[in-house]
Amino acid sequence: MAQIELRNVTKSFKTGKVLEGLSLSADEGEIVCVFGPSGVGKTVLLRLIAGVEEPDAGSIWLEGRDVTDAPPETRGVGIAFQNFALFPHMSAYDNIGSALTARGASAATIKAKVEKVAGLLKIGHVLSHAPRELSNGQKQRTALARALAADPKIVLLDDPLRNVDAKLRYEMRLELPSLLRASGATVLYVTQDYKEAMAIGDRIAVLLDGRFEQIGRPSAIYREPVSMGVARLFGDPTINLIPIRPRAGDGGATCEIGGATLALGPSHAATEGRSVLLGLRPEALSVIDAGAPGAFPVEVVAVTPLNEKTVLLMRMPDGQEIFASEAGVENEARQPGPAFARFDPARVLAFDEATGARIGGGA
Amino acid sequence: MNAVTGTRARSDAALSLQGVDKIYAPTAKAPVHAVKALNLDVRKGEIVALLGSSGCGKTSTLRMIAGFESVTSGAIALAGRRIEQLAPARRGVAMAFEGYSLYPPLTVRDNIAFALKSARLSAREVEAKVAEVAALVEIEPILDRYPSSISGGQQQRASLARALVRPAELYLLDEPMGQLEPRLRALLRGRLKRLLTERGMTSIFVTHDQTEANALADRVAVMEGGVLQQLANQTELKERPANLYVATFIGEPPMNVFDASAEVGERVRFAVADGPKLDFSANEFSEAARNVIARRRRIVIGVRPHDIRLNAGGSEAKVVSNQWLGDQTHIALDVAGKLMVTVAFSEVGAQRGETMRYEIPSGKLHVFDADTGKAISHGSEAA
């Protein structure tokens, strides 16, 4: 049974932006990341589910119950915000136990639950501290502990790693899925970091222009984005988009780039004769020194290491800049200058120039 | 005689900092020693990044070189000339700083062109140079706007353009790509690197982002607590970190480290409490390293995430997480109650909770002194 279900939820707000016809269903124990650029209404969506905002239309169902008109305190939802929002005059212990206290739980129950969740989140040693005595990382864990302490069936997390340093954010990214899973809760997790969404979410709901543009597993979203808008939000560097006009060829669609004729493969039949943007992820492009069938000429502008990869900024004959990335940084041989690039046809996507919809590549 | 004029400045050093200290409020009860005895040589045409977390001293260093901050003691020489007492405008440096703002009464175009005033160029040459640098940082559409009417990010890029356009002995850039959206940031990294390298522009930039530092810089100066921890290229920082701070700061993700005990004899053995036992042939370590390891009761061993081999060797651990990020996979194993992170460039079929074998190859082990944090040995480096 779906634990969280949105049915056609619509909400307009003062800035003129709207959430339009949002439908989503999250199963018990599932972590769904709501991902999108800032300002798309991700936080408003959480507020609607928590009950602090009301939708204009549509309904919200939690644990199989229509809660659209139910007051927030009856919804049984645990929430953590990006700014922590801890009660400043209360110790970490009292903050974590606050939902249990409000519910009238016994002191012994509160103690057991607070200590259990604090142990999981490794903040057992700071429970007596006031929020001002906690580091940002400890505050963030305290806020998470508070959201989880009352064993809510539904947990809403609003960009909880936003305000912690990069190192802790990375560690939490590794640990959070296990912690959340141990709680058994169904989780909606808002983030604007695509890596966080891919790492933490069982599924990702991509919120763009007020709509869920795509909802799916991380691998589907990355490899088979429904649109250019989704494709551009994932990847580092982001996907290259090259304007082309494919033609029918012997073995399927072909296109011309920099004077070279390149085969696109069987999944691109729908692109023939249309203006499309070829979507090439940097890791799907490889760079070779000499021309070869299926390769187009480029000028390597700069070679920049990126973590354990090497990113090549390249200029195509028409001046467009594109990226290729290669695993490993030991490739000292790579130098700026003329070269050729080729792509793996199985990993090429094509988007309709007018609508942005994917019409070639993927499954 | 002071230490820098004349012979001690290295002949190929464009910029040389010798024994530079910065103490804020030296007479106060709690003076802040922001930069400590800093020696730093930057070669002509070299790009150096000052990298560290906030409060590490990187920005104070940049501001002292620029002249926005006095040095408490020490000397700064640029192109063989002492500059630490000179006003900023007389130092021959071009700067893009937060707070070193554009002139409000001038358009963006005129702000950039104004920086070329002393270069005695024709109007057409000025126009061409402005157009080139404006294209590089993508501000062509706002060239005729006034600074007050453009966004913070655009102001930052205009300020960067103004710095890059003028001839200078040294370019000082403070978080040059702070607020850009990801695609433009990646583009700018490449374009800037090309421009600075091609024209031999000696540059120092401050960043807290090691991706930026590694992408742009020839060498990276890692700072912490006001002290220069290591100045090296990125390969060296990763393969031969000077100490535990650098080892656990550099790398995305950084090195995994574990407290361990060591036993040196025919073999060199390391044991991590409740964790792996590693056993290497003694000749994989230099004699000097063996001697140091033998004398230490407590050491720290480290291995970089990319160096761990999965489904190999005899050590086993539970998978805590397996996260595929599109172009790489990060797997965290529970080793000795800590997370040990490994990275692969393909998908790895391992479920959370499964047991997985792993190996730390002998050539990839780093050993540190647990008390001082100093590196003792890196990989196979038997002399």
C-alpha A15, offset from chain centre = 24
**Residue B383 pLDDT more than 80?**
no
Q: Which residues does chain B have within 8 Å of residue A237's beta carbon, measured at their own beta carbons? A: 182-183, 186
Q: Which tokens sit at A120?
A: 């999981």
Structure tokens at B152: 């913070």
Structure tokens at A174: 């590794």
Express each pLDDT in A301-335 by its tens digit. Answer: 999 988 888 999 999 999 999 999 988 766 566 78
Q: Are strands B47-51 and B219-224 parallel, antiparallel or unpaired?
A: parallel
pLDDT at A292: 86
* Length of chain B, in residues: 383
Of B194, B215, B324, nearest to A306 by CB-CB distance is B215
The amino acid at B59 = T
pLDDT of residue A87: 92
Reading the block at residue B5, the tokens are 């004029």
Give me B4's structure tokens. 């820098």
What sign does the dihedral B143-B149-B150-B152 (CA atoms) show? positive
- A178-200 pLDDT tens trace: 889 988 999 999 999 999 999 99
Predicted confidence (pLDDT) per residue in B247-260, tens digit:
999 998 999 999 99
| Distance in angstroms (rounded) separating the CA atoms of residues B251 and A308 | 8
Which distant-in-sequence residues (6+ apart) come within 8 Å of A166 by Cβ? Answer: none
Residue among A218, A281, A304 whose CB faces B215 most closely: A304
Judge whether B144 and B108 are in contact, CB under 8 Å. Answer: yes
Closest CA to A78 of A24, A130, A117: A117
Residue B325 to residue A199, Cβ atoms within 8 A: yes
Residue B3 has pLDDT above 70, yes or no: no
Rounded Cα–Cα distance for residues B39 and B32 (Å): 19
Q: Which residues of chain A neighbour B193 with C-beta distances below 8 Å?
A: 302-304
Three-state SS at B304: coil
Phi-psi region of B38 (alpha: psi -120 to 50; beta: other; left: phi over 0): beta
Under a CB-based contact definition with an 8 Å cutoff, are residues A66 and A60 in contact? yes
The pLDDT of residue A210 is: 92
> How confident is the model at residue B5, as a pLDDT?
43
- Tell me, rounded to whole angstroms, the distance of Cα A305 from its chain centroid: 24
pLDDT at B380: 64
Sign of CA dihedral B159, B164, B168, B173: positive
Q: What is the largest CA-CA distance in chain A?
A: 77
Distance of CA B375 to the CA centre of its chain: 19
pLDDT, one tens digit per residue, over B62-86 is 999 999 999 999 999 999 999 999 9
Rounded to 5 degrees, φ, ψ at B106 are -105, 150
Q: Residue A225 in 3-state DSSP?
A: coil
> CB B324 to CB A218 under 8 A?
yes
Band of the pLDDT at B11, cuts 50, 70, 90?
Answer: low
Using an 8 Å Cβ cutoff, are B350 and B319 in contact?
yes
Min Cα–Cα distance to chain A from B231, Å: 17
List b or e across A319-347, with b for residues whose CB sees 16 or more CB atoms inside 10 angstroms. Answer: eebbbbbbbebeeeeeebeebbbbbebeb
Residue A335's pLDDT is 87
8 A C-beta contact, residue A229 and residue A213: yes
Mean pLDDT of B209-222: 95
Q: Which residue in the set A218, A237, A283 is minimally distant from B183, CB to CB?
A: A237
Closest CA to A265 of A274, A283, A278, A275: A278
- The tens digit of pLDDT for each residue in B24-44 reads 988 888 899 999 999 999 999
Contact by Cβ (8 Å): B240, B268: no
Question: What is the CA angle B236-B238-B240, rounded to 5?
Answer: 55
pLDDT value of residue A293:
86
User: Six-digit token pair at B291?
Assistant: 């001697």
Query: What pLDDT does residue A332 have?
Result: 61
What pLDDT was estimated at residue B291? Answer: 92
- Note the residue count of chain A: 363
Predicted pLDDT at B2 = 43
Q: Could you tell me what percent of chain A has a pLDDT over 90?
A: 73
Among chain A residues, the shortest Cα distance to B344 is held by A327
Residue A104 has pLDDT above 70, yes or no: yes
Q: What is the mean pLDDT of chain A?
A: 92
Interface test mutation site (partner A, options B185, B191, B194, max chain A beta carbons within 10 A): B194
CB < 8 Å to B183, chain A:
232, 237-238
Backbone angles phi, psi at B138, to 5 degrees: 60, 60
Edge-to-edge strand order for the sheet containing B73-78? B32-43, B13-24, B73-78, B81-82
- Residues of chain A contacting residue B190, judged by C-beta atoms under 8 Å apart: 301-302, 304, 311, 313, 321, 323
| A313 to B345: CB separation less than 8 angstroms, yes or no | no
The answer to whether A162 faces chain B, any CB pair under 8 Å, is: no
Kindly tell me the number of DSSP H helices and DSSP E strands found in chain A: 8, 22
Q: What is the rounded average pLDDT for all residues in chain B?
A: 91
* d(C-alpha B213, C-alpha A236), whole Å: 16
ipTM of the complex: 0.89
On the question of a cis peptide bond just before residue B253, with omega within 30 degrees of 0, the verdict is yes
Q: What is the pLDDT of residue B381?
A: 60
Q: A2 has which bridge partners?
A: A27
Peptide bond just before A225 cis, omega within 30 deg = no
Q: At B202, is the secondary structure helix, strand, or coil?
A: coil
Note the pLDDT tens digit of each residue in A40-93. 889 899 999 999 999 999 999 999 999 999 999 899 899 888 777 899 999 999
B324 and A236 in contact by Cβ < 8 A? no
- For the ranges A1-5, A28-32, A80-84, the lowest mean pLDDT is seen at A80-84
Q: For residue B345, what is the nearest residue in chain A, using CA coordinates?
A: A327
Look at strands B227-232 and B219-224 and give their pairing.
antiparallel
* Residues in Cβ contact with A276 at an 8 Å cutoff, skipping those fewer than 6 apart: A243, A244, A245, A246, A350, A351, A352, A353, A359, A360
Per the CB < 8 A criterion, the answer to whether A45 and A22 are in contact is: yes
Whole-number Cα distances in Å, B148 to A256, B41, B97, B163, B175: 45, 38, 17, 19, 21
Query: Which of B182, B190, B324 lies nearest to residue A198, judging by beta carbons?
Result: B324
Could you read off the pLDDT of B232-280 as tens digits, one per residue? 999 999 999 999 999 999 998 999 999 999 999 999 999 998 888 898 8
Determine the distance in angstroms separating the CA of B361 from the nearest CA of chain A, rounded to an integer. Answer: 18
Most confident of A212-216, A258-262, B5-9: A212-216
- Beta-carbon separation of B182 and A165 below 8 A: no
> Closest by alpha carbon to B99, among B126, B55, B59?
B59
